[in-house]
A = this chain, B = another copy of it.
Amino acid sequence: MSDNKILLIFTSKGTEMFSKACEYGIKAAIVVAQESLNGQRTSLKDITREINSPEAFTAKILQLLVRSRIIYSVKGPHGGFEIPKNQIDEVKLSEIVDAIDGDAIYKGCGLGLSECSASQPCPVHDKFVKVRDELKLMLENTSLYELAVGLEVGLTFLNR
């Protein structure tokens, strides 16, 4: 053991690509999309059971998506969250990420400079832009529909 006191200050389990809030938001949206494709609304409880997330916290994130008109909510018995069927294919991952984490991850400078600029690039700019742009493209081209279908068919998992 010995010197793990100071190290603890920096013992992060590992910084991830998206915030927890965003991870929950994406997962929740996929569940809502999947149920919506089946013509069903999904309640907060159902969602948190499916994605194994803290209820009240997830509620806040869902509200964020509702405010961004990415999903829609209905109160009262048999209420819950839904997405109009014809809209599910139009909702891109980028909109969800943007609503929760902002666009810095796929638009901002990799070293945190005020803005990414090709004329005044940071040292990693050239190399970073390539992967960042591919991330951007991926997020903008991936629809909730395809993610929901994979889940419905049993090919993918939300909970492990």
Contacts and interface: CB of A to CB of B under 8 A. Distances in A.
Count the copies.
2
A83 interface: no
A103 B19 contact: no
Interface in A105-140: 105, 108, 110-115, 117, 120-125, 127-128, 130-132, 134-135, 138
Contact of A16 (B23, B30, B104): B104
B138 A104 contact: no
Interface stretch (A36-44, A69-77, A149-157): A149-157
A21 interface: yes
A2 interface: no
Contacts of A159: 113
A102 interface: yes
A14 B60 contact: no
30 contacts: A10-B60, A10-B61, A10-B100, A12-B19, A12-B102, A13-B102, A14-B103, A14-B105, A15-B18, A16-B105, A17-B17, A17-B110, A17-B128, A18-B110, A18-B111, A20-B112, A27-B123, A93-B124, A115-B160, A120-B160, A121-B155, A121-B156, A121-B157, A122-B157, A123-B147, A123-B148, A123-B156, A125-B156, A130-B138, A134-B134
